């Protein structure tokens, strides 16, 4: 493949996609901000302890008379996202068309999970010249943006972020690739991770906790981008394994790749989209230059702002001080943070008959593009002195309220 031609093609289209990660000046640092709060060396997390896996097991356990293997069609979270036909249409924002739009958005995602995610397929036998790793890095990022990512960053892989075992939910959708409880061996070639960010539609997220279809659509986009980029890298002669929410924890990888920080809500907060993003990734041995982590001022801001905790319908987000004590087995600790009560969240989704995005909707970092919002982000990055004022301003301006158009 002629990469330079591809690069020209991408450059000619500047402005048609976001090139923030490549070109924008950011306040970078040598170590991610979570290092300030780390209390013990990180250990690999068992995906069977994630909220999704636990909820899946809980739902299956309710069907006492059949074994797990006999119930291949049981997917509780999928059922929630599809909606219960007996209740459709009762509440505003939960109509048949709302469910249909959302479920349609998911189609490609589930196909890719079952066929392409977490697979390292054949690579081209002719490797490209990688002596100029800076140039190769730029081309990989440009390709990622061209395939549809809104942001792309690169980190060297910290093995602590790779799950120790397959979880129930991710194994269920893996197309028979893995079973829940199987251990995950890290291949020797796995060195770099290209982390890919897909932004979700602002107006659609403001509907939460009514159905927002853009979450589903973003899952499909992240699957398309990650698998396309993996094929691109394999064509350059290097290993590449695309992944969605399986195989490794996305948020610390994204932080290490300079794409944002983790907020009180347990989500990645990016500079441009706040927490209104989905993350996928490609692991590779193509020699790349890692990005430096960023300090967006999120840590100090979240100490003051507790909007996500106050507006979480299930009480899953802590409004107190950081702690290094886990709430339960779903928390990956070793640092002081605000542990999320994952099962409270899952049970609310079940009651709500849909997933929920309130902790994205109300976050002051979730803003549509605009000069004033860009200025506010710059102020937060530079000083914590105005945080209280900006939080108040956000509330009185009416941002974060549910809007169903």
Q: Which residues bind ligand SF4 (CB under 6 A)?
A: 263-265, 301-302, 305-308, 312-314, 316-317, 345, 348, 356, 358-359, 362-365
Smallest gap from Cβ 24 to ligand SF4, in A, equals: 21
Q: Give whichever of 304 and 329 is closer to ligand SF4, judged by the CB atom.
A: 304
Smallest gap from Cβ 312 to ligand SF4, in A, equals: 3
8 A C-beta contact, residue 249 and residue 332? yes
Q: Give whichever of 139 and 352 is closer to ligand SF4, judged by the CB atom.
A: 352
Neighbours of 248 (CB within 10 A): 25
Q: Give whichever of 179 and 336 is closer to ligand SF4, judged by the CB atom.
A: 336
Q: Give whichever of 59 and 137 is closer to ligand SF4, judged by the CB atom.
A: 59
Q: Give whichever of 49 and 265 is closer to ligand SF4, judged by the CB atom.
A: 265
Smallest gap from Cβ 15 to ligand SF4, in A, equals: 30
Neighbours of 132 (CB within 10 A): 11
Smallest gap from Cβ 231 to ligand SF4, in A, equals: 33
Signed CA dihedral, 114, 118, 178, 170: sign only: negative
Q: Give whichever of 147 and 301 is closer to ligand SF4, judged by the CB atom.
A: 301
Smallest gap from Cβ 362 to ligand SF4, in A, equals: 6
b/e string for 331-354 if b means 16 or more Cβ within 10 A? bbbbbbbbbbbbbbbbbbbbebbb
Smallest gap from Cβ 70 to ligand SF4, in A, equals: 31
Q: Give whichever of 81 and 265 is closer to ligand SF4, judged by the CB atom.
A: 265
Q: Give whichever of 228 and 358 is closer to ligand SF4, judged by the CB atom.
A: 358
3-state secondary structure the chain: CCHHHHHHHHHCCCCCCCCHHHHCCCCECCCCHHHHHECCCCCCCEHHHCHHHHHHHHHHHCCCCCCHHHCCCCCHHHHHHHCCCCCCCCCCCCCHHHHHHHHHHHHHHHHHHHHCCCCCCCCCCCCCCCCCHHHHHHHHHHHHHHHCCCEEEEEECCHHHECCECCHHHHHCCCCCCCCCCECCCCCCCCEEEEEEEECCHHHHCCCCCCCHHHHHHHHHHHHHHHHHHHHHHHCCCCEEEECCCCECHHHHHHHCCCCEECCCCCEEECCCECCEEEEEEEECCCCCCCCCECCCHHHHHHHCCHHHHHCCCCCCCCCCCECCCCCCCCCCCECECCCCHHHHHHHHHHHCCCCCHHHHCCCCCCCCCHHHHHHHHHHHHCCCCHHHHHHHHHHCCCCCCCCC
Smallest gap from Cβ 326 to ligand SF4, in A, equals: 16
Smallest gap from Cβ 400 to ligand SF4, in A, equals: 8
Smallest gap from Cβ 360 to ligand SF4, in A, equals: 7
Q: Give whichever of 236 and 267 is closer to ligand SF4, judged by the CB atom.
A: 267
Q: Give whichever of 257 and 362 is closer to ligand SF4, judged by the CB atom.
A: 362
8 A C-beta contact, residue 311 and residue 362? yes
Residue nearest to ligand SF4 (CB): 263
Smallest gap from Cβ 219 to ligand SF4, in A, equals: 15
């Amino acid at each position: 493949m002629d990469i330079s031609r591809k690069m020209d093609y991408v450059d000619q289209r500047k402005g048609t996609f976001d090139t923030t990660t490549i070109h924008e000046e950011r306040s970078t640092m040598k170590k991610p901000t979570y290092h300030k709060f780390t209390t013990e060396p990180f250990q690999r997390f068992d995906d069977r302890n994630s909220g999704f896996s636990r909820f899946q097991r809980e739902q299956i356990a309710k069907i006492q008379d059949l074994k797990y293997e006999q119930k291949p069609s049981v997917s509780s979270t999928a059922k929630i996202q599809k909606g219960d036909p007996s209740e459709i249409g009762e509440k505003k924002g939960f109509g048949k068309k709302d469910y249909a739009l959302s479920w349609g958005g998911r189609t490609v995602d589930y196909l890719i999970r079952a066929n392409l995610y977490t697979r390292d397929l054949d690579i081209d036998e002719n490797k490209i010249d990688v002596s100029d790793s800076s140039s190769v890095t730029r081309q990989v990022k440009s390709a990622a943006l061209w395939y549809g990512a809104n942001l792309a960053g690169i980190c060297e892989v910290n093995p602590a972020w790779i799950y120790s075992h397959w979880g129930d939910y991710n194994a269920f959708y893996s197309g028979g690739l893995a079973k829940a409880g199987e251990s995950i061996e890290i291949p020797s070639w796995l060195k770099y991770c290209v982390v890919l960010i897909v932004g979700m539609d602002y107006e659609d997220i403001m509907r939460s906790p009514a159905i927002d279809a853009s979450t589903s659509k973003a899952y499909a986009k992240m699957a398309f981008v990650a698998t396309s980029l993996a094929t691109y890298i394999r064509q350059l002669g290097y290993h590449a394994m695309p992944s969605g929410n399986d195989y490794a924890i996305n948020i610390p990888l994204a932080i290490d790749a300079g794409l944002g920080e983790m907020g009180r809500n347990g989500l990645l907060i990016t500079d441009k989209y706040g927490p209104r993003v989905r993350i996928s990734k490609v692991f590779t041995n193509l020699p790349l230059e890692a990005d430096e982590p960023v300090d967006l001022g999120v840590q100090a801001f979240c100490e003051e702002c507790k909007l996500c905790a106050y507006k979480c319908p299930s009480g899953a987000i802590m409004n107190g001080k950081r702690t290094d004590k886990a709430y339960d087995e779903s928390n990956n600790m070793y640092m002081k943070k605000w542990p999320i009560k994952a099962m409270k969240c899952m049970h609310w989704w079940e009651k709500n008959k849909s997933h929920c995005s309130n902790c994205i909707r109300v976050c002051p970092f979730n803003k549509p593009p605009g000069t004033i919002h860009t200025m506010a982000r710059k102020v937060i990055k530079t000083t914590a002195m105005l945080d209280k004022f900006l939080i108040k301003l956000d509330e009185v301006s009416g941002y974060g309220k549910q809007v169903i158009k």
